[in-house]
Structure 1
């Protein structure tokens, strides 16, 4: 019997690519989506729930799976209010981890960011660091935290600052070698593939930076 996976954020860039991979992966029988809007895909494997993700706890009875992939993330441009940003980038992943613990889901994989640090002076990095700490406190058996640098790829919405950064990183990437390779930008297809690998293989590290994301992506 195939596995059941939950994806949070399947309508986003990385989450959408992850969904595509799981739909063609014979190891998975059902993909449960919790989203604010529909992914727009009709498939026998998909069970879609359009819900308020800020009240994810209300979905506890439906939050049943072998593994959970959390691809939730906002930006300062999309969510300038820090309180709202905290509800999304901290609140949703942490509640998902709590539901995993309560429902005995053994695998939780979440996207964070390079530079996550609960003591950082930068609100974005501090939020990610606090999120990571809170997730790890749930002590889910197989917890993996992906820490990509800048995520490349084409999003449906325009992000001016991010687009400029992508152009810059495309020029700089070839010079980031050795210990600096973790600062290279990473394509979302690599993040999605890495998540699939981690869900189906034991791995000794909890936090996975960009250079490791790319290596593991080739092994899925």
Structure 2
């Protein structure tokens, strides 16, 4: 049985991750840290779910550090947007800063497995600011030295967002249409949010048990169709 801490549990992928964690019999306890109460807690409180809600993200690290027992798995689906943050510089400070701070806190507390929902094309050397930020988050958490680090790099995340992103919604519509015609037209570049979530939870449990692909014992990067394969296990 595994204990899991989750940040980003109110977002598009994170909310599905939380649902998967709560329904998985291999998970004994879930602790979420978020700015608002996750829907899973508000709609159907679970005995194994504990939520910490605070708009002051400066308190999140101390809350994570205080969790008892220490979570064996820490999952981050936390992200923000340039618009919500008020510009890219603030987006970087929030998304990179909080992800790395909490990953470091978890590692120091004794968490064994770290799981990050990143993005396709994440690369610290990229000329694209967003891809560079994602790449730098990946490199900085890998450097912390968790027993195992799992990084999922989905392409376009298809599904329904609570907030309005008209351009992205149009592309998601195309992805949905393509998937209905034939899965092969979609799977390589777009994955459903619930599939990403299932893959993240399945991969986290495999990593905790040491059941990872050969050559990926320390860092396991999961992309595209491999995400979909893991989601079905």
* TM-score of the alignment, normalized to the shorter chain, above 0.5: yes
Cα separation, 2, equivalents of 1:169 and 1:147: 17
CA drift of 1:165 comes to: 1.8
Structure 2: give runs of 5+ residues left out of the alignment. Answer: none
Equivalenced residue count is 216
Asked if 1:199 corresponds to 2:198, the answer is no
The question of whether the paired residues in 2 share the 8 Å contact of 1:5 and 1:32 is answered with: yes
Give the TM-score normalised by structure 2.
Answer: 0.85
2:74 is paired with a residue whose SS is strand
Partner of residue 50, structure 2: 47
CA drift of 1:88 comes to: 2.6
The question of whether the paired residues in 2 share the 8 Å contact of 1:106 and 1:142 is answered with: yes
- Give the RMSD, CA atoms, in angstroms: 2.2
Cα separation, 1, equivalents of 2:73 and 2:109: 11
Cα separation, 2, equivalents of 1:80 and 1:86: 11
C-alpha change, 1:24 and 1:176, in structure 2 (3 Å) is closer
1:110 is paired with a residue whose SS is strand
Partner of residue 31, structure 2: 32
The question of whether the paired residues in 2 share the 8 Å contact of 1:72 and 1:88 is answered with: no
The question of whether the paired residues in 1 share the 8 Å contact of 2:158 and 2:175 is answered with: no
The equivalent position to 1:134 in structure 2, one of 132, 140, 162, is 140
1:78 is paired with a residue whose SS is helix
1:77 is paired with a residue whose SS is helix
User: What are the within-5 Å matches in structure 2 for residues 86-97 of structure 1?
Assistant: 86-97=92-103
Cα separation, 2, equivalents of 1:175 and 1:122: 31
Structure 1: give runs of 5+ residues left out of the alignment. Answer: none
CA drift of 1:210 comes to: 1.8
